[in-house]
Chains A and B, each alone.
Chain A
Amino acid sequence: MNRAHLWAVLSGVVALYSLSSCTTNQTAVIPPLPKVEAHVISGDMVPRRTIASTTDDSLLEAEFQQILASEDVEKETRAYVDRIVRVFYRTQGLLDDYDAKLDEISKQTNVSETALQTDDSYARLISAWTVREQTLEKIRYFYSRALEVEMQRGNDSKVARELQDRALLVNHAFRNALLSASNSTNRLAKQELLESIIEVNREFHDSQAAQDGKDIATSKRTEALSRILEKQVIRDPAEMQKFYERNAKQLKRETENARKDVEIAAEMEKLVPDMKRHLSEQFEQRSPQAVGTIKPGIGHLGMMNGFEFPAGVWALTYDDGPHPLYTTRDLANLQAAGIKATFFWLANNVSRMHSIVHAAQEAGMTLGNHSYSHPQLTKLGPAGLTHEIDDAMKVDIEAGYTPKFFRCPYGACGSQSSLVRQRIANLGMISVTWNVDSLDWQDKNPASVYARVKKQMAVQKRGIILFHDIHPQSVVASKMLMADFTAGQKTGRYRTVTIDQALKELNSAEGMKK
């Protein structure tokens, strides 16, 4: 046994001794409790909540009052705390279990983050987490209410005194139940539980200080409990790791028990369908790939925003051109870097610059429609939309390409029922937005534009990057990014695609891969 172990054992012994002596004293001061029928204590008699809480759940209050009014307060409290602690511990086991399972799924099939979200394990992981959080809240609520009732002052009626006595018994049983549970090897899983009780004690003292008074006996007991619990909390990550290793077998056994726990299973079964539905809704909004073929239409499948790409895949896009100087430079830079990008151009410019259109086509770039003259389409009527979308398409066709993609100026396509989206879909085009915005129109400093894009890329992990090929700073900033892409493609960190390529891959049987 090393020195640390010795100290741990000694601390435990001292803690237990302190507890037992404290318990004896408490028992001695508790007046004999008269036998009171459950209905004698009603909700109206119990003082209202004063200690801060994250919930105001009437069910929790009902549970508390039921125990407070029960014939054997200590026994009921003990059973309540034991049950809660067990659920709390076992859901931690389930969390570890599902977490490991998700890891396995991720390794085996190399699935994307979004696909991972639709997996059943994920919904179960969140459900287990929710059960655990609810349990934590239950114990916080129960304990803080018992403290409140125990320390109530200024009311010397018989009922009030009875309530105080009962609350004292509740707290006495609570401490015993909690401490005996926290001394087991399961204590690692109950770190949060212990810290939460310490926090309730702290709040209790704060509320007393605010009321300019102090219940000395209650105060001493809560302080003593905090001191003992503080020793149980393992704060050093290395020590925690050691604890895991030392108790691996038992923890595994407990996880098995968690899987078989009927009460937890029942709680989780109630939650899983909601969690799955919620995740599925999120998934549907974010990833057309998972729910069907992307094709022109007013729904989610009629648009691409980059979230549907696998991590590491990027589409570089440029709006508002062609520009005689800057588009030409962008094209030269892209060709030098061996990268293909997508351009959303204004028909107004396209009509005057056919040579740039041809150069871009020859270089293998994807060309999309960005309206005729860049108005806010949602502010236009049918005639305006005809000019800005239909006529623009005609200009593109005259220039030599039929756009399959449309990007709304200012990203303003409107809701699914908007005329804009209907018109785009009717012309057989898919709406394309972005998830990384260079804000190059608001920033003339290329280094700053580049830094912004890189930062957003780090957050988004995949997607569609928006530049404008009408600004000099965009030429420089996107060239800097191209250098990263070139290097990243060699190491497998990045892959660049055009929107057309992305669409084909997303709609293919194999799906899009990094």
Chain B
Amino acid sequence: MKLIVLIAALVGMVGCSSSDKKVDASKSAPVALMSHTLSASEVSAKYSILELNSAANLLKVIVDQAGSKPSTDKGSDLIGCPLTGKQAGTMTMPLKALIDGQMKNETDAYTADPKNYANEKGFETCFSNCACGVLGDVVDAASESAMPAGAATRLHSRNKQRLSLKAKHQTAAESLACARKQAWFCTSDLKAYLEKEAKENAAEN
């Protein structure tokens, strides 16, 4: 424990002792960031729920990859832009807000035409982009009574079961494989938005 405490303190100390130059740099960064960062509605319009889900899966994998000690949380270079477990963790919440924000529209679209929605979103191949979970949430939230009569109900029931089963059995290796495909996230407006939100929302501010 002593070693951990010491290392943690030393890390903090280094940040403290070399304060001047670093503080200047960090002060200028948010200004540049703010001027180019999209708003929540713009981000939501730009990224689909599947893209948001892919980013969420990526952040989850990075959180899971973080070292067993805070001092070893050096950052994952999974997709070419290092993010620490802590950074990824703070970005998951504003990302969840974006996903939740799209959920109603998605559920409405599914309710209106379950078959078409399933084809469009790729229910059958959802495991390939680790989307079975989020699509399962869309389907779960749908109201059967609002759906077109007849076959839709049977289809809905089957969708629910299949998506739930696939999502439940998604392995860590599959999550990792999906995460590796998300290099786009590094330079995306989504990342910039999440970083800004994470900073603003942090209760410790």
Contact between chains at B203 and A303 (CB < 8 Å): yes
Number of A-B contacts (CB under 8 A): 108
Q: How far is the CB of A416 from chain B (nearest CB, A)?
A: 7
Please, which residues of chain A bring their CB within 8 A of the CB of B27?
Answer: none
Per a CB cutoff under 8 Å, which of A376, A410, A442 touches B133?
Answer: A442
CB neighbours of A452 from chain B (8 A): 63-64
Among A279, A374, A412, A443, point to the contact of B201 (Cβ < 8 A): A412
A278 touching B13 by the CB < 8 A rule?
Answer: yes
Task: Say yes or no for A233: interface residue by CB 8 A criterion.
Answer: no
Query: Size range of the interface on A?
Result: 35 or more
Closest to A376 in B: B97
Judging by beta carbons under 8 Å apart, are B40 and A379 in contact? yes
Q: Write out, one digit per residue, whether chain B residues 1-30 have a CB within 8 A of any chain A CB (1) or not (0).
A: 110011001101100110000000000000
Nearest Cβ in chain A — how far from B95, in angstroms? 9
Determine whether A441 belongs to the interface, using a CB cutoff of 8 Å to chain B. yes
Query: How far in angstroms is the closest Cβ of chain B from A42?
Result: 28
Q: Hey, what's the 0/1 contact readout for B48-66 against A, CB within 8 Å counting as 1? A: 0000000011001001101
Across the interface, which residues of A come within 8 angstroms of B132, CB to CB?
A: 444
Q: Does B168 contact A (CB under 8 A)?
A: yes
Q: Are A117 and B56 in contact (CB under 8 A)?
A: no
Which of B10, B60, B167 has the most chain A CB atoms inside 10 A of its CB? B60
**Contact between B170 and A285 (Cβ–Cβ < 8 Å)?**
no
Query: Cβ of B168: which chain A residues have Cβ within 8 Å of it?
Result: 444-446, 473
Chain B: minimal CB distance from A125 (Å): 7
Which residues of A in the span 208-228 have a Cβ within 8 Å of any Cβ on B? none
Known: A103-B2, A455-B64. Is A412-B172 also a contact (CB below 8 A)? no
Question: Which residues of A approach B to under 8 Å, CB–CB?
Answer: 99, 102-103, 113, 116-117, 122, 125-126, 129-130, 274-275, 278-279, 282, 285, 303, 305, 374, 376, 378-379, 408-416, 421, 431, 433, 437, 439, 441-446, 448, 452, 455, 458-459, 473
Residues on B lying within 8 angstroms of A by beta carbon are 1-2, 5-6, 9-10, 12-13, 16-17, 40, 56-57, 60, 63-64, 66-70, 89, 92-94, 96-97, 100, 132-133, 136, 164, 167-172, 197, 200-201, 203-205
In order of increasing CB-CB distance, the 5 nearest A-B pairs are: A412-B201, A444-B167, A415-B205, A410-B93, A413-B203
20 chain-A/chain-B pairs, Cβ below 8 angstroms: A103-B2, A130-B13, A274-B16, A275-B13, A305-B203, A374-B100, A378-B201, A409-B97, A411-B93, A411-B203, A431-B203, A439-B92, A442-B60, A443-B170, A445-B170, A445-B171, A452-B63, A455-B64, A455-B68, A459-B69
